Structure 1
Amino acid sequence: MSQTSWNEYRPGRSFPGVIGRTTDESTPAWPRPVRAVPGSPNVVIIVLDDTGYGQLGCYGSPIATPNLDALASGGLLYSNMHTTALCSPSRSCVVTGRNHHANGMASITELTEDLADRAMSFIADAKQVAPDKPFHLHFCPGATHAPHHVPKEWADRYQGEFDDGWDAYRTVAFDRQKQLGIVPPDARLSPRDPDVPAWESLSPDARRLSARMMEVFAGFLSHTDHHIGRLIDFLKEIGEFDNTLIMVVSDNGASAEGGVSGTTNELQFFNNAPEPLDESLARIDEIGGPETFNHYPWGWTWAGNTPFRRWKRETYRGGVSDPFLVHWPQGFKARGEVRSQFAHIIDMVPTVLDVVGIEPPANIRGVTQSPLHGVSFAHTFDDAEAPTRHRTQYYEMFGHRAIDHDGWRAVCPWPGPSFAEAGRPFGAPIKMTDLDDLDAHHWELYHVEEDVAETRNVAEQHRSKLIEMIALWYVEAGKYNVLPIDSSVLERMMTERPQITQDRTSHTFRPGTQMMPAAVAPRVLNRPHSITADVEIPSGGAEGVLLCQGTNAGGWSFYVKDNHLHYAHNYVQRTLHHVASDETVPEGRHTLRFEFEPTGEPDIAHGKGSPGRAQLYVDDRLVGDVEMPFTTPVAFNPGGMTCGANPGSAITADYRAPFRFTGTLHSVTVDMSGDLILDAPSEMRMHMARQ
């Protein structure tokens, strides 16, 4: 039976066929499958991570991004796209078309080559099965989030490129942005950030280190562009490129988690244990490789967001204005043009639905769906003068607020316009008296239609407009579930919530199970704890990891090697505390235990966790003992806990990962007692690093 003779009916309607006693007196009918309208495009959404407005070549950067530049020259570059200022909230907007507070994502929650390979494989699989069915690909590389890891040859391509520093970078990028028509010819560059030192004020060694960190970042971005290019070439090879709608966006501005001077191991920054310059310089050739967890200094963050002020997490334009490209040869005629209409990341879903002719579903699996918050900008594809349909957009991130409306922009920074000017730490709570003061005295106003980089605060000259904008922010906040305003970070993340199991001090692990994320793993730092493994050692002995947490950037491992029991504590990659049993582990079934007993208070502010006594036991017999003068104070990142192996990079150089346990491991139990000691600012920075 040919497809054209099938008797099809819409699912949910009554069966239109005939069911007789036998097949010859019956007439079949089939539920009509969902088919795309002929000619419907494929959709590819590429979401970059922590990539600033001024970091792609087509946005004025000296960093080579030829494949992304080609999408811009063959399509459209949007100069006025906005995001939420943070990764996870922005990504919730990309997939829902709704504001992040309404999505329940007010704040928190490196394998580019492999991702590209898999993306091409997925597309090939789909086209083999249904060649006429369009596909949707969501391609999200880890780039350019820290750590900036890239093969050395990619970083070396930029040797000497950034020796003139971040001040020079901003000047060059800004001039190029004017030439490209991305900013108006009379635009003003935002002034020096108070938190960023002048390049010339750094010592020669500090400049050399900072320049290398930027070379590595540039190589990382170019490497990512290269593999995006492989995906594009594949689409051309299979004849799908011209009818594929490609959108490229970054989820927020460039990231400042590297600190004022950058780091070869971001974990040091979060544990208040920054390495001295001479130690960083000693590792300069390792930066970008698997032995580092590197991130560049604030100066490069600031430069990466040229021409804007500030960065990720803040609602100035440096945090929320991001690169955005649209390419679809078969869908519109414009080529290589700039679009300056205001747009927000919530507009991507409505635009895709618009061009493919699909109405958003009223319900999904019985759940009524809220209306989309964004609007389509498809009308701008072939009309550079078309007015924007997105007139008003609020922002709020950890109490830092802003609103755009008809070419005006109001910003209320919290805890201040910069760290130097704040007088309070990031994450400080906003109380009612604070809010009254903020709303009365600390909103700034910019006419961004004429002042794209927020260089002239005109709040005093246009007081009535400012009051209108503040009132509008509260209207939008009420509409999209923004209230109450919560500037806390650690408190928000650490607030106790109902769990499947009650709070406990004993956790049992078994081999072969998934790594337990740090957020739910037992918190063993700065408190007494024991780790007990129930094992069987075969004839001839066994070796391998019993339980571990972390990576080569920092962590601990409890393991057996050379028939001896070991415990190693990697303190932010700078010191390794190690204890080994003074006798071999015998064959047969035994309990192997590690105990840590604090012998003093931690000095978290200065990067030192609790000192203590580390002891090893075999069947309750003490076989190893060492004093640790300090331990890791705050956390490990990545900080997953794994039983029976060390996935990823080896925590200690004493073995090669994954170093799976070769005996029989029945279980490992972590017991904790005593009070857990926390340091709020450090914990807060740690959580932010995961964004």
Structure 2
Amino acid sequence: MPERDFHGRIGRTYDESEPWWPEQNRAPDDAPNVLMVVLDDTGFGHVGCFGGLIDTPNLDRLAENGLQYNNFHTTALCSPTRSCLMTGRNHHSNGMAAITEISTGFPGYNGHIPHENGFISEMLVEEGYSTLALGKWHLTPAEAMSASGPYDRWPLGRGFERFYGFLGGDTHQYTPNLVYDNHQVDPPATPEEGYHLTEDIAQRAIEFIGDTKQVDPDKPFFTYFCPGAMHAPHHVPQEWIDKYEGEFDMGWDEAREQILARQKELGVVPEDTELSPRNPDVEEWDSLSEDEQKLYARMMEVYAGFLEHTDAQIGKVLDYLEELGELDDTLVLVSVGDNGSSAEGGPSGSVDENRFFNNVPESLEENLEAIDELGGPKYFNHFPWGWAWAGNTPFRRWKRETYRGGASNPLIVSWRNGIEAKGELREQFVHAIDIVPTILETVGIEAPDEVKGYSQSPIEGTSFAYTFDEPDAPEQHTTQYYEMLGTRAIYHDGWRAVHPWPFGEPITAEALSATSLEESGWELYHVEEDFSEAHDVADQYPEKVLELAQLWWTEAGKYDVLPLDGRATQRFVELRPEPGKRRDRYVYYPGGQYVPENAAVKVLNRDHSITADLTVPTGGAEGVLLAHGSLSGGYSLYVDDGRLRYVHNYVGVEEYQVVADESLPEGEVSVRMEFETTGEARPEEGKGVPGTVRLYYGDEQVGEGEVPVTVPITTGLTAGLSCGNDALNAVSDEYRDRTPFAFTGDIARVTVDVSGETFVHDEKEMDKIMARE
């Protein structure tokens, strides 16, 4: 009802008038709370109740009191899946073919989820629900994540009333880039004080739920709880890692055998399930050296501790709901992963992915030296892809690919007062787009025709509430297409056709014009009988291959999948909207918000200068004037021990410092750093341009030094720029123990002047972007 409508009576005086109040929107009687939990980069075979070797007692108890779905499917990538979970529409319908950082100017690929595709939060808030989001978001266009907005696609712009988490694809678990509602905030504690992001968002979830329930106990909530786990960096306190010491010494080959045996014992896969064929990229465990086995096993121990720690935080939220007396009346849906387990650690794993992005090799010897600190704040670690393969048991391949290893995840549904069945398995096909219509049916409301003035598109998913108490009900979602980075698949009535494509290879018209089945490249799996896609039967059923290939093209045309695009580096350099025009001078001010990497000035491999206009108090000052990057690489201009200093951190390997010869004068002063390139960048060798650094007080040169090598490609995924302090992960060891090392004088402004063309290394930029999925 329009707010300006009035149904009372207004007379000349109060005693001649009748007041009237509009009725509040209230959820339907007995509508349940809804808690949606989404984990990141977790495979089908990781959690305990699905046969994994990692203890997950809280997810297990949800399964014991609810239902497990072993035929739940995602899109094979992070943001696309999350867009499906939020809207009930396919990822291309949402403009989220991949992630916004590689968007292109086509409807299915532009990274802007249309307002015509309403979020479940937008639907429920209008029906009297409290709507709360915590943790990872990654549904905002990349160019809109800075303080300049626009904010209409931030969580509070898409129906959530409260948000606490991070906007991007990943973040440091000990020093995260936090957003509270619509503004950045600092973490409430330090790593030394025991801070960890997953613990923080669990406590915030408890606070948010408590805030609403203590005021209006009858008002149901929709809580979207999304830890950054299990995405890299794999960060967890040491005691959780130590529990798994020696537990993975058997290696990934034997782990697959053990997981499949457990899956059969638990009944979460058919008894006749076979292990899918070996991934040719993965080395046999027994062929590795003793040192490799030692390091790689430890990396898996860290991951295992991280997952159990995450499970414990989910348990805290469940325990709180139990204490409130709300758990029985809460529909809990847990998507154990938004895609399959991640192979982004490469064949050997990594202790700092920024070295990989910059082509700086990691040696086994150096990584072994880090083994006792893996999981702590010093490293940005990721396990080798052999463990991703094992984590996706019994399937082949992994995240980014449309085999079941990339696009199948466990789903757990629990609603004590609403689902009679307990501890049972459901085998009907379910997809991420089916979550929204299931919630709507459970809550008892219809999908709205309009949200915020936008006429709504049809929901494309199918409710699976029919499976709650009918284990043998015929499945109702019988056809589903897949497409991710050129790889394709189609499910229809128990069959699945898969078309792999080499990552980064353009899909040409010539390639698509091939007419023979052999040239078309489709594989065929009868998944009704071959659960793990172990046997390609395309040669036996050529008619079925042709039928499904044609069906894929029909679905592609229906859901904005075209134009089919398998490009990688070329896709990164597509022209797309940016947060402001490119310019030669960037001006920053102290006290403002941290500037995300995609919105910050680009200085690598080019001449540039940084000028700070200061007022230095009597007695001097100290602190950071401008910092850009993190402990994994970057640069900082700061004052310490009375002198201006510049430091360049070369991917966490070496720091090169230039110090002024004279003390910083008191009063008003303009200080400047000039960087002049003195050679060529060799990014393929992991080396950015060398340069000469000169320091100035006013027009007087007060220092000079050489930087023999610089960061060649990127300062890192979680990097950014801050003025007046080094906001999170300090760039330099020189002041890391004094973070944020805020400048104690006054800064009027800091101006960064750049010239020449921005340097872009296409291939590595693509690697960097894709790791944020």
Q: Once the 2 structures are TM-superposed, how far is the Cα of residue 629 of structure 1 from its aligned partner?
A: 2.0
Select which of 12, 29, 33 maps to 1:42: 33
The unaligned stretches of length 5 or more in structure 2 are: 101-172, 174-196
1:500: Cα distance to partner? 6.4
Q: Identity over the aligned pairs, expressed in percent?
A: 57
**In the alignment, which residue of structure 1 is the partner of 2:500?**
413
What's the RMSD between the two structures over aligned residues?
A: 1.5
Q: Which residue of 2 aligns with 1:427?
A: 504
Alpha-carbon deviation of 1:177?
A: 0.7
**Paired position in structure 1 for 2:296:** 210
Q: What SS does the corresponding residue of 1:242 show, helix, strand or coil?
A: helix
Q: Give the aligned residue type for 1:478.
A: G
Of 186, 193, 202, 2:272 maps to: 186
TM alignment of 1:481-496, pairs within 5 A: 481-496=560-575
Cα deviation for residue 321 of structure 1 reads 0.2
| 1:192-228 Cα deviation digits (max 9, x unpaired) | 1111111111111111111111111100000000011
Q: 1:605 aligns with which of 684, 688, 692?
A: 684
Deviation per residue, 1:467-509 (Å, 9 max, x gap): 1111111111111111001122333333223556432121111
Q: 2:611 aligns with which of 532, 539, 561?
A: 532
- Do 2:32 and 2:220's aligned partners in 1 also have CA atoms closer than 8 Å? yes
Q: What is the match of residue 323 of structure 1?
A: 410
Please report how far the alpha carbon of residue 392 of structure 1 lies from its aligned counterpart in structure 2 after TM superposition.
0.9
Matches within 5 A, 1:226-625: 226-249=312-335, 250-415=337-502, 426-437=503-514, 440-499=519-578, 501-625=580-704
Deviating more after overlay: 23-32 vs 450-459? 23-32
More off after superposition, 488-497 vs 153-162: 488-497
- Indicate the residue corresponding to 2:83 in structure 1: 92
What is the letter of the counterpart of residue 397 of structure 2? Answer: R
After superposition, give the CA deviation of every residue in 1:342-382 in whole Å (9 maximum; x if it has no partner).
00011101000001111111111211110111110001011
Equivalent AA in structure 1 for residue 627 of structure 2:
C
C-alpha separation in 2, matches of 1:462 and 1:578: 67
Q: SS of the residue aligned with 2:741? A: coil
Cα distance between partner residues in 1 of 2:549 and 2:377:
48
How far apart, CA to CA, are the structure 2 residues paired with 1:502 and 1:652?
30
> 1:7 is matched with which residue?
none
* Cα shift at 1:651: 1.2
Q: Where do 4+ consecutive residues of structure 1 move more than 3 Å? A: 10-16, 437-440, 498-502
Distance verdict in 2 for CA 1:143–1:499, change over 3 Å: closer
Distance 2:310 2:229 in 1: 7
AA aligned to 1:345 is: A
Residue in structure 1 matched with residue 20 of structure 2 by the alignment: 29
1:186 partner SS? coil
Normalised TM-score (structure 1): 0.95
Partners in 2 of 1:278 and 1:516 — Cα distance? 36
- 542-551 or 597-606: bigger deviation: 597-606
Opposite residue 506 of structure 2, the aligned amino acid is P
Separation in structure 1 between the aligned mates of residue 758 and residue 7 of structure 2, nearest angstrom? 68
Q: 1:11: how far off?
A: 5.2
Count of residues in Structure 1 that have an aligned counterpart in Structure 2: 672
1:258, 1:269 within 8 Å by CA — same for their partners in 2?
Answer: no
Aligned to 1:423: none
CA drift of 1:437 comes to 4.3
Is contact 2:389-2:396 (8 Å) kept?
Answer: yes
Would the aligned equivalents of 2:512 and 2:520 in 1 still touch at CA under 8 Å?
no
Partner of 1:157: 243
- Please report how far the alpha carbon of residue 630 of structure 1 lies from its aligned counterpart in structure 2 after TM superposition: 1.4
Would you say the 8 A contact 1:93–1:346 is kept in 2? yes
Alignment map for 1:168-183 (pairs within 5 Å)? 168-183=254-269
Q: Distance in 1 between matches of 2:295 and 2:410?
A: 28
- CA apart distance, 1:528: 1.3
Check whether the contact 2:579–2:599 (CA below 8 A) recurs between aligned residues: no
Q: By how many angstroms is 1:622 displaced? A: 2.2
Q: What are the superposed Cα offsets for residues 102-145 of structure 1, whole Å, 9 maximum, x if unpaired?
A: 11111113311110101011111101111111111000111000
Q: Secondary structure at the match of 1:80?
A: strand
Measured in 1, the distance between the counterparts of 2:553 and 2:267 equals 34
Work out the CA distance in 2 between the residues paired with 1:499 and 1:108.
Answer: 15
SS in 2 for 1:333: coil
Query: Residues of 2 paired with 1:505 and 1:12: CA distance?
Result: 49
- Aligned residue for 2:628, secondary structure, equals strand
Matches of 1:435 and 1:600 in 2, distance apart? Answer: 45
Which TM-score applies when normalising by structure 2? Answer: 0.85
One-letter identity of the residue aligned with 1:677: F
1:11 touches 1:32 (CA, 8 Å); kept in 2? no
State the alpha-carbon separation in 1 of the partners of residues 4 and 444 from structure 2: 23
> 1:88 deviation in Å?
0.9
Which one-letter code corresponds to 2:24 in the other structure?
A: P
1:421 matched to which residue of 2? none
Equivalent-residue separation in structure 1 for 2:514 and 2:598 (angstroms) = 36
Indicate whether 1:113 and 2:199 are aligned.
yes
How far apart are residue 25 of structure 1 and its match?
2.8
Give distance in 2, aligned partners of 1:186 and 1:28: 71
Q: Secondary structure of the equivalent of 2:348? A: coil
CA distance in 2, matches of 1:17, 1:588: 67
